Structure 1
Amino acid sequence: MPVTAVNTDTADLTMTVVGDFPAPVARLWRAFTDPRQLERFWGPPGWPATFTYFDFEVGGRARYEMTSPRGEKSRGAWEFLRIEPETGFEVLDGFVDEDGKATADMPSMRMTFEFTETAEGSRVTCVTTFPSEDALEQMLAMGAEEGSSMAFDQLAIVLSDLREYAQGKGTWTELLDDQHVRISRLIDGPRELVWRAHTEPELMRQWMLGPDGWRMTVCEIDTAPGGKYRYEWTPEEGVAGEPFGFDGESLLTERPRRMVSTEHMTGTDYPSTLNDLSLYEEDGATLVTVLIEYPDKETRDAVLATGMTDGMEASYARMERVLLG
């Protein structure tokens, strides 16, 4: 884990997060000062950030928004107070409305980022200073510590060469907490085609089949928010298994970057999950990430025990072979 320490000091009104990474200081600095890289990790899983403005100079400002799986937005702004290239910078961070005006009932915080060289690579130390104990408690209750740790975990991926990071992993599953699972797979192909493979029925029928011996008999999808979808599969003759299907509703679509939907097993009273699909392209390869929210730990464990990860790997391998080969 890249996060080596998270400390909250109620006397000093500070929260300190320290992360160590096997990358040089210059590379770590670029990740924090290039908005396209910064937005890949600054928002915690399920709330990815988009920096809409970034004027990186003393007195300059940056604006960002984080979007939940259901489309709610949390907006913030930075004012750059100090910049020392490849050493550190300091910002005043606060919540803003859609017009960029400070939100009166939310605190502003001073944040310092310091970058140092280590024997294994580099370290970033982020110190957030709050204006009052109430403000500190308010942000902790909103998950500030957990969100910062998750952001640093995502930074490790940003700092890695994508192909090198995913080499030989196939489809892998990470348990984030009792309700959230992150499933990832690198697809050797462009994001636009991978997006189409997830949204066009004629392409989906060719790869979204799980293990060999199954066929997709129903594939109906409307990706517009509020649109419905329905998929059904049946085994080929001589293959064990019973037909099954899923249905759900599209909640958020940002082509070709992100799509969020509910998922329910058709004909059952099983609770629905929330599936948050995101695609990121680097050097012609696309990282597919699915963040799944389950209603509880028992449902999470029951679904994973079905061999879902192996089935997804069979499908993604087929996508590369059939659509991108």
Structure 2
Amino acid sequence: MTTDRFFDFAVDTANATLTVTRDFAAPRRLVWDCHTQAALLDRWFAPKPLTARTASHDFREGGHWHFAMIMPDGQEFWSRQDYIEIHPIDGYTALDAFSDETGAVSPALPQARWTVSFTEDGRLTRVLTLVVYPSAEDLEKVMAMGMEEGLTSTLDRLDDLLDTLGGTSEPAKVTISALVRAPAETVWAAWTEPAHITQWNFASPDWCCPSATSDLREGGTYTARMEARDGSFGFDFEGTFHKVDPGREIGLTLGDGRRADTSFTPEKGGIRVTTIFDAEGTHPVDMQRDGWQAILNSFKTHAERL
């Protein structure tokens, strides 16, 4: 961990606010992932010697994060954040509260509105967190509970995690490809039309894609709901088209800022579909490649049946 980067913890009792500013030597995309993906949050969002454990996490406007900070002796301290606004990679706003293990808010303890913003300058990402309490008394209560020491230790842990993840490196570019033996217009329609997307956009038969939308234009949005067929888990895959060249190429910027660019190239016997995507920092690259390739293989099977 490097300790000489900018850090400021400012208390404004008159306005019942905390302003916490911290620089990290990592790309903004990776710092954002660490704040918004449960698997990464569990690796840093608690002061030493506590650890974090997520009970449920749904990072979307209207969603929430329910988690515990756990003492070495097993004692649990539960909290939840309810997401109000999300601006991918730029920032988010959430209501933060103490809770019980069921997620019910503890009304006797202070609640606050957190606004977290992310800016990048060269190799550094600055995270600015504005925490607003309903009253000066609530602010004084959390300060007496050790807010400054706890948050400082927690951010030190994030620094350590970013070092472990290789924070200064760019995301790996991963390539997948398949030759689809179908006419070009069929391949394009199967890739871009929601009625087709829901028929192939999953990696294995125990998953499904119950809904999808595609505003196929530069600046338009794309969404696909991915769910386990038994209902045990699901998430929304979202992005914005940064390039649309009909029949030739589609570029998608994902909600976390990563990119996925897909080309459609005529070859003998069909259309070569190739996607190059930025790997995320949570899972092994090989696992991500296998998952994306399985979805592409599912697309190939669907398109060739049309």
TM-score norm. by structure 2 comes to 0.52
Q: Which secondary structure does the structure 1 equivalent of 2:82 belong to?
A: strand
From 2, 5, 8, the counterpart of 1:5? 8
- Say whether 1:152 aligns with 2:155: yes
Residue of structure 1 in register with 2:71 after alignment: 68
Structure 2 distance, partners of 1:106, 1:58, is 24
What stretches of structure 2 of length at least 5 have no aligned partner? 169-281, 285-306
Q: Does 1:50 align with 2:34?
A: no
The CA deviation at 1:12 is: 1.4
- Structure 2 SS opposite 1:97: coil
Match of 2:103 in 1: 100
Q: Which of 76, 85, 90 is equivalent to 1:87? A: 90
Q: How many residues align?
A: 168
Hey, what's the Cα distance between the residues in 2 that align with 1:22 and 1:156?
Answer: 8
Higher relative contact order (CA 8 A, sep 6+): 2
For residues 11 and 62 of structure 2, the distance between their equivalents in structure 1, rounded to whole angstroms, comes to 28
1:165-224 per-residue CA deviation (whole Å, 9 max, x = no partner) reads 9xxxxxxxxxxxxxxxxxxxxxxxxxxxxxxxxxxxxxxxxxxxxxxxxxxxxxxxxxxx
Contact 1:18 / 1:126 at 8 angstroms: preserved in 2?
A: yes
Contact 1:17–1:148, Cα closer than 8 Å, also in 2: no
Partner of 2:33: 30
Superposition CA RMSD, Å: 2.1
Instruction: Describe the shift of the 1:97–1:164 C-alpha distance in structure 2 as closer, same or farther (beyond 3 A).
Output: closer
Q: For residues 162 and 151 of structure 1, what CA distance do their matches in structure 2 show?
A: 17
Preserved CA contact (<8 Å) 1:79 1:91 = yes
Query: Which amino acid in the other structure matches residue 122 of structure 2?
Result: A
1:70, CA displacement in angstroms?
Answer: 2.1
Percent identity over paired residues: 32
Aligned partners of 1:162 and 1:282 also within 8 Å: no
Q: 1:129 aligns with which of 102, 127, 132?
A: 132
Counterparts of 2:104 and 2:98 in 1: how far apart (Å)? Answer: 8
What is the TM-score with the length of structure 1 in the denominator?
Answer: 0.49
- For residues 58 and 27 of structure 1, do their structure 2 counterparts lie closer, same or farther at Cα, with a shift above 3 Å needed? same
Identify unmatched segments of 5+ residues in structure 1: 166-280, 284-325
Q: Is residue 43–residue 161 contact of structure 2 (8 Å, CA) maintained in 1? A: yes
SS of residue paired to 1:160: helix
2:23 to 16, 20, 38: 20
Q: For residues 158 and 87 of structure 1, do their structure 2 counterparts lie closer, same or farther at Cα, with a shift above 3 Å needed? A: same
- Runs of 4+ residues deviating >4 angstroms: 162-165
Cα pair 1:3 1:153 within 8 Å, conserved: no
SS at match of 1:50: strand
d(CA) in 2 for partners of 1:99 and 1:47?
A: 20
Q: Measured at CA, do residues 72 and 84 of structure 1 come closer, stay the same or move farther in structure 2, by a change above 3 Å? A: same
